[in-house]
A = this chain, B = another copy of it.
Amino acid sequence: MSETVKNNSTAPLKRRPRGRPRSTAARVAILRATAEILEEGGVTAVTMEGVAQRAGVGKPTLYRSWRNAHELTMAALIETQKAPPAVRATASALDDLRQQLRKVAAVFASRIGRSVAMMVAAADDGTELSKVFRTHFILARREEGRVLLAEAVSQHAIRRDIDFEIALDMIYGPLFYRLLVGHKPLTAEFTDGLLAHAIAGLTNRKARR
């Protein structure tokens, strides 16, 4: 599995592996079929058997690239979100962050949001693909946020003595919270308000402490 990921993302790997190469046609058909099933029935509807049948592919071909339905689902989800949007757009880092949060919320609120949530929750294994998945959907956004926060510091919009780890969790955590628990909707009003509260703080400044 890991080598597939590598081949398709980074390493050039001069030496071509021996034997017949994996069929890209099959790979595409599999990921498309998985995405379709995911769309129609959600995470629990994805079975190796069903995907193989819909993709017109043998089961062993699935297992050659993904070791179970969980991995396959993650791969398909990643595939649907291949193009990461540009982050920096405006002059204000905080404005950029606000935009990014809205986008993340929009993805989470969409059909695939629940699937992502379930996959993250279920992905307790230390698989390579699990890490890739978490990074792709969760941590990458968080890292973008870190850049924007640092920028905001240098723009003097944010204090320089904050704990970045905590600040980032404070901003992105609530999105996940609403996604999973679903007690309130994931709207732009929410993310905007969240950011505003995070920046301003809850404290009553007149009666400091």
Chain A residues with a Cβ under 8 A of chain B:
42, 44, 114, 117-118, 120-122, 124, 134, 138-139, 142, 149, 156-160, 162-163, 165-167, 169-170, 172-178, 180-181, 183-184, 190, 193-194, 197-205, 207, 209
Contact = CB atoms under 8 A, between A and B. Distances in A.
27 contacts: A118-B122, A120-B180, A134-B183, A139-B181, A142-B183, A157-B204, A157-B209, A158-B203, A158-B204, A160-B204, A163-B197, A166-B174, A166-B193, A167-B202, A169-B177, A170-B170, A170-B174, A170-B197, A172-B177, A173-B174, A173-B176, A176-B176, A176-B180, A177-B177, A198-B202, A200-B201, A201-B202
A201 B204 contact: no
Given A157-B204, A172-B177, 11 more contacts: A142-B183, A158-B204, A166-B194, A169-B174, A170-B197, A173-B175, A173-B178, A174-B174, A177-B177, A180-B180, A201-B203
Given A121-B120, A201-B198, A201-B202, A169 B162 contact: no
A152 B142 CA distance: 31
**Most chain B beta-carbon contacts within 10 A, residue among A134, A157, A173:** A173
A44 B78 CA distance: 24
Main secondary structure of the interface of A (DSSP, over half): helix
A177 B173 contact: yes
A162 B124 contact: no
Contacts of A172: 177
Contacts of A197: 162-163, 166-167, 170, 201
B183 A178 contact: no
A184 B201 contact: no
Given A173-B173, A181-B134, A159 B118 contact: no
